[in-house]
Amino acid sequence: MSIYAYIEEAPVSFGVRLATTLAVGCGFWCASHLYQRWRYAALEHEDKSMLQARPSDAERDKWIGAVKRESVNYGVSPSTLISLGDTGDIDAGLSQQADTGAFARRYNPPLASEITLVFPYLLAAWAGSLISDPYAVFLAASVALGQEDMRFRIAPVPMLLVFATTGALSSPWGPYAWVVIAIPLAAAFALISFVMKKVGGVIWHAGDYLTLAIALTAVLSAGTVFEFLATHLLCACILELAIRHIPACARLKDNVPYNVVLSASLVGATLIAILKGNLL
């Protein structure tokens, strides 16, 4: 069954669709922010424990290396960076940067300062609601995964479970057939990732191949494979150009947030398929 058949056989009133869009979009926006607050608090507690403890040199070097990487994404508290700067464990420039207002605003920002981020959630929820309620949740969950990947370079397990479950529920094949296809596909990507790491030193994290496998099975069942691949290629090229030519994006060079590309590709492919169905 294609995505066009979905739209034709399941007409929904504007009020119901609007309620679904607002509930799903705003719900995931708030849930993502709550996860960020928890994650920031957990990282800050871990950093304070490391500052007060007396770890071995190897453990301290590993922790300081992680702090340097996470500070690029504003994932380390300013107080931790200032303390490490005072002891000479990190560059003075990084410590001074943490003492600026710009860094403090980007570290653990309040919900009100992230109001613009609600619009991608609403767009994803609206596009998905044109197909089905589970598909609306599926697309909104992909946006949440992209936001957390951009912030922390991880795919939170609860959001990944919601992403996979709604992907299975929205499949016209049925959840059991979806699982039979998704699991071998994820295993194949894991094998490819292992080979890439051994041969070329390219690290592809577990969250990346899991979300890609889930996304591919979703677009296969919805009949939007071509749209997904075309949008995926376009988004990847735009991100690569941004990293090369926009100074603010240069920090993404060594650690690209893949789930941002994946989310944009899923939402874009859905919108293109809907437009094609309406225009044809």
Average per-residue pLDDT in the chain?
Answer: 81
Q: What's the confidence (pLDDT) of residue 204?
A: 60
Query: Given CA atoms 59, 64, 69, 74 in this order, what sign does their dihedral have?
Result: positive
Q: What's the confidence (pLDDT) of residue 171?
A: 79
137, 24 contact by CB (below 8 A): yes
For 194-228, what is each residue's pLDDT tens digit? 776 666 555 566 667 778 888 888 887 777 888 88
193, 230 contact by CB (below 8 A): no
- State the average pLDDT over residues 75-103: 77
Q: What's the confidence (pLDDT) of residue 141?
A: 95
Q: How many CB atoms lie within 10 A of CB 72?
A: 15
Asked whether residue 27 carries a pLDDT value surpassing 90, the answer given is yes
- State the average pLDDT over residues 57-68: 80
Q: How many CB atoms lie within 10 A of CB 230?
A: 14
Q: What's the confidence (pLDDT) of residue 279?
A: 45
Residue 125 makes CB contacts below 8 A (sequence gap 6+) with 20, 21, 22, 24, 25, 28, 136, 137, 139, 140
**Comparing 88-92, 124-128, 194-198, which segment has the lowest mean pLDDT?**
194-198
Query: Coil, strand or helix: which one is 74?
Result: coil
Choice between 192 and 234, residue whose per-residue pLDDT is larger: 234
| 62, two tokens | 């590993």
Residue 4's pLDDT band (boundaries 50, 70, 90)?
A: very low
Asked whether residue 70 carries a pLDDT value surpassing 70, the answer given is yes
Confidence (pTM):
0.85
Q: What's the confidence (pLDDT) of residue 184?
A: 83
Asked whether residue 40 carries a pLDDT value surpassing 80, the answer given is yes
